[in-house]
Amino acid sequence: MAAYGLYTHIASNKFRSMLLLAELFVLVYVVVYAGALIIEVLNYGGAPADYYLRVALTDVIRTLPYSTGAAALWIVIAYFFHQSIIDAVTGGQDVTRQEQPRLYNLLENLCISRGIPMPKLKIVDSDALNAYATGLNQRQYAVTVTTGLLNSLNDQEIEAVLGHELTHIRNGDVQMMVIAVIIAGVVGFFAELFFRSFTNFGYYGGGYGRGAWSSSSSDSSSSSSDNRKSSGGGAIIVIIIAVALIALAWLLSQMVRLALSRSREFLADAGSVELTKNPDAMISALRKIENRGELPGATSAVMELCLDNPRQGFSDLFATHPSVDARVQALVRFAGGHDPGPLALPAAPAEGPDDQTPPALPKGPWSDATEPAGASPGAPSASWRTSRWCSPGCSTSTRR
């Protein structure tokens, strides 16, 4: 676990990324097939179920170039513009060395120490304590941190956070997470589109019933009651199948994100410790970030990219990150760190236009409660200067 850049993990991530891209096309075809079933029922509501299934499959084959092109176009758009989309959601902005010399130097030192190419550096103006890495290739990689994290963590802790995000880049986690967000986004969009169209056509309110049963009624003179029941029942079965397929596609798109094993966070923590040689800094950073990383306005997909995702599913079943306690215990066990327990953030200094009075000097052998307020801290008191240069009985006016 303490190793950095585990080659088996990197190779696995690359392979899984290709599988995720292939799964995107499969899920798109499933959604298109479900949509074709619904459209065929709308066009002709009196046919048996096998007719709808057969004709819908023909429709999918006929529209295959269009659905494939749409999925490929989405991948191209996401490839070039995913960073802009994420920045628009979180408010991330590029910063330079001149704008953030402290943060820039910490990241540059880490990259130089291990020969890692320097990613872009971004800042999110938020009180939340969090950070995330993005990018699909070397030219796109970026590390983003919040201003709240910069103001609350010391240099060693920030360095540990940056090492965590660099490990995500090096291990290939970033590419896989971005691809998963792409898949979940496109399938979720089409699934919601079909569900909205489905309800707008009034299936549950009688729209479908009027279309299907009116067709059956018009043919009642030439068909038996059993045929009418069979035809109407077939259409209902097909509608149920279509809804189930759309729901299944949406569920699988969400499961893709859960397929990003939680072990990636443990490995990134370990990689940070290997980079910085300071497990205690990573532990204290996690303790300070704990339950303080919620980015206002960020979607669940964006939160999954972050160092810590405080959003948890029911019974922790759909949590994308292990708990901070579990991550800290792993660092204590395998990296020899020390857990201070939950930490409170340092209080912000009071600010005000008239708050310019220096703090009072502590009483001691070299200070006096009567010392002027303007005296510099640590300067000898007036009484000490008098006793130092005057003998008993002399006054300050007689000393040279």
**Hey, which residues are catalytic here?**
165
Interatomic CA distance for residues 118 and 133, integer angstroms: 12
- Which of 244, 178, 195 is closest to 24 using CA atoms? 178
DSSP state of 320: S
- Which of 328, 292, 327, 336 is closest to 310 using CA atoms? 292
For 395, residues 6+ apart whose C-beta sits below 8 A from its C-beta are: none
Interatomic CA distance for residues 53 and 49, integer angstroms: 6
For 105, residues 6+ apart whose C-beta sits below 8 A from its C-beta are: 97
DSSP SS3 for 146: strand
**Paired tokens of 170:** 């090096």
Q: Where are the alpha helices (DSSP H) in the chain?
A: 7-43, 49-62, 64-90, 101-114, 147-152, 155-170, 173-200, 207-218, 225-258, 263-276, 279-289, 300-303, 324-335, 382-389
CB crowding 200-225: b at 16 or more within 10 Å, else e? eeebeeeebbebbbebbeeeeeeeee
DSSP SS3 for 321: coil
- C-alpha dihedral (350, 356, 362, 366), degrees to nearest 10: 160
Question: Residue 8, Cα to own-chain centre: how many angstroms?
Answer: 24
